[in-house]
Structure 1
């Protein structure tokens, strides 16, 4: 595959590129090949190349709710953040997969469209938000998405309705189909600009007050167990401040694990496993990870 960079000179492609440069946790080993497509056509070209050469394919957005293992990622990894256009027409906002969810909420606000306020501080990309049905403060992506364009593994491009996306808690049908989200359209409602801005500011202030935004993290680590709150269970287990290597259960919000001193993915995983074991032992509750953990050991 040594000719991949010369085969696609119009696409920025890096070999053996450390992914810690791109992840919110500042951890992660090298990608064998890392490409930054700028268009749907470039994504299709790269996916077809991976298929033809039987290369494992991984697609990333902002890499915010993600831990890449220290061994890096085999095959071809795409980062879609250069596909980031956002357009507004009437009550609909359409954003490409690499657009930041935060920027999309700002576009909605600037056009006095309400419905996306809950996502004002979610650090992920639109592709990740569709893939994971991202949510916060009582809102979920599924409540406002009208449709999404998805590139399926066989190379076909399909426009999926909200129903076809089959959203669940931190889940969508894209996870099952192994498709690549290309864009999404949100159907919103007309609202009062000042009220929308005030709500977004309020939620961002709440987030800043409660979450360790000053340190690298992968966001909320665990799914909410039925009948409980993960953060409270971790706090009640006395685990805040628990540290392995450079990764630590945040002393500000127990649901977060932060990188306090050159932590590695192995450090993060060690903290996750200790938290799971301790909470299970003390309360009989099995915590499931919300964060995706990918790559080689």
Structure 2
């Protein structure tokens, strides 16, 4: 049941009609390819629209959730009650000397391409992270010994009331898969990265090497949300799961990847419930065997089917 369908008429005062969709299946907007319908999905085209949507949702007490490419998101089968604000239309990238100013919806791989074209080094680690800049800052995304905190200078965010604030690196409070954006419920709109001048051929060589390693070790041929769990201190998640003899274990249409045990994949028309059940089974098994708590890195939202 769409609880907030009538709210769409107010959104049409802010957005063009093609930017407002009712009962939109979230499986079309997540890399897991699962998830029930959002009551309303909106795709704003500028910062002003984003701020107005946030303010309207607050005024009318309508829940909202910010997404980019949905590459670190699991939406339950019952869908999301409220408004999903998808920011992928805000994807402009501008290079200014050794700085790259990027809108929140730009893909990390495209920022990496822009850095390469301008012989800027420091962003190579992000070349294969399958998300957007806004999500990457929100969770301080990282890979191959690099993370966003190493290259960010500042971010323009909207707070929960729709006020625009520019935060410097320290104010962003970037930690392991954590930031002030999560802590205070901010919405990232624009980010400035500060890189260094480098040698084009060396940068390309590094990107090519990381791309090859990723293709060899990760199950890119199946829908997933990347690494399913945060890394527990003193352990490697994939090894813990493998040492429990769970590599390849299947529940419904969800499976622990044969290629990398740290990845839960949508092997065969999985439901969100299949994936959640498998996540819980992994957590219980690792806890029982090694007394280690695994916490999901993937964000889980929405409600179960009734």
Matched, 1:3 2:9: yes
Render the CA deviation track for 1:13-58: whole Å, top value 9, x for unaligned. 0011100011000001100110001110110111111111110010
When the two chains are superposed, the root-mean-square deviation of aligned CA atoms in Å is 1.0
Q: Which residue number in structure 1 is paired with residue 254 of structure 2?
A: 247
| Map 1:165-204 → 2, pairs under 5 A | 165-204=172-211
Give the distance between the partners of 1:169 and 1:146, measured in 2 at CA: 17
Which ranges in structure 2 are unaligned for 5 or more consecutive residues?
Answer: 1-6
Does the CA-based 8 Å contact 1:5-1:14 persist in structure 2?
A: no
Give the distance between the partners of 2:242 and 2:45, measured in 1 at CA: 43
Q: Which residue number in structure 1 is paired with residue 42 of structure 2?
A: 35
Normalised TM-score (structure 2): 0.95
Give the distance between the partners of 1:195 and 1:88, measured in 2 at CA: 20
Does the CA-based 8 Å contact 2:250-2:256 persist in structure 1?
A: yes
TM-superposed CA distance for 1:283, in Å, is: 1.1
Give the distance between the partners of 2:94 and 2:183, measured in 1 at CA: 28
Which ranges in structure 1 are unaligned for 5 or more consecutive residues?
Answer: none
Give the distance between the partners of 1:264 and 1:185, measured in 2 at CA: 38
TM-superposed CA distance for 1:7, in Å, is: 3.0
TM-superposed CA distance for 1:6, in Å, is: 3.9
Matched, 1:137 2:144: yes
Q: Which residue number in structure 1 is paired with residue 228 of structure 2?
A: 221
Partner SS, residue 220 of structure 1: coil
Give the distance between the partners of 1:61 and 1:157, measured in 2 at CA: 19
1:98 to 101, 105, 115: 105
Q: Which residue number in structure 2 is paired with residue 260 of structure 1?
A: 267
Q: Which residue number in structure 1 is paired with residue 133 of structure 2?
A: 126
Aligned pairs, number: 297
TM-superposed CA distance for 1:222, in Å, is: 0.6
Partner SS, residue 171 of structure 2: helix
Give the distance between the partners of 2:300 and 2:8, measured in 1 at CA: 28
Matched, 1:154 2:135: no
Does the CA-based 8 Å contact 2:52-2:162 persist in structure 1?
A: no
Matched, 1:21 2:65: no
Q: Which residue number in structure 2 is paired with residue 276 of structure 1?
A: 283
| Map 1:54-133 → 2, pairs under 5 A | 54-133=61-140
Give the distance between the partners of 1:2 and 1:105, measured in 2 at CA: 37
Give the distance between the partners of 1:264 and 1:296, measured in 2 at CA: 13
Matched, 1:285 2:306: no
Residues 164/71 of structure 1: CA separation in 2 closer, same or farther (3 Å cut): same
Q: Which residue number in structure 1 is paired with residue 52 of structure 2?
A: 45
Partner SS, residue 7 of structure 1: coil
Give the distance between the partners of 2:233 and 2:188, measured in 1 at CA: 29
Partner SS, residue 289 of structure 1: coil
Partner SS, residue 104 of structure 1: helix
Runs (4+) of structure 1 moved beyond 6 Å? none
2:237 to 196, 212, 230: 230
Does the CA-based 8 Å contact 1:152-1:179 persist in structure 2?
A: yes
TM-superposed CA distance for 1:4, in Å, is: 3.8
